[in-house]
Structure 1
Amino acid sequence: YQVIIRGRTIEMPPKEIELLYFLASNPNKVYTREQLLNEIWGYDFIGDSRTVDVHVKRVREKIDTENVNWSLKTVWGVGYKFEVK
């Protein structure tokens, strides 16, 4: 699977794309790990909430947000958001 950011094609697994798409579709709204697990992985997901942390980290590693007006932000003690600057 691929996403195109600023004309650059980036290979990503489906869950990383789903996570990025979900957060980008709801800019500046903070989601807890549990909310993201329910939305992306489903209510029947059996695993650790740190799965979200790992996927966010991988997405951040793959995308270059240096010269764009958005980024994936950690809201400490709460969760994550797609921040539009």
Structure 2
Amino acid sequence: MIGMDGGDKCPFSFNFDPASFKVGDTVSYRVPKLGDFPFAAQIVAVHADHLEIVDPGEPGKVMRATRESRPVVSDAEALA
């Protein structure tokens, strides 16, 4: 994402450390059916075994994601 618009900095500051995830952090998440394409979302809830995230493109849709450095959202949930 760095330099995509000709600039030097990415417009997002991502947290890739699952141990330090907190509400309000921005994460880069993946959807299996879409390969390794990165999406950005904000964490709205942190649980021991998963996250709840919201993609800014769909602010009313809360998605369950895995708790790993680049969370995964199921195809069914992300593409519904």
TM category (shorter chain) comes to under 0.3
Greater RCO (Cα-Cα under 8 Å, separation 6 or more): 1
Q: Which has the higher helix share?
A: 1
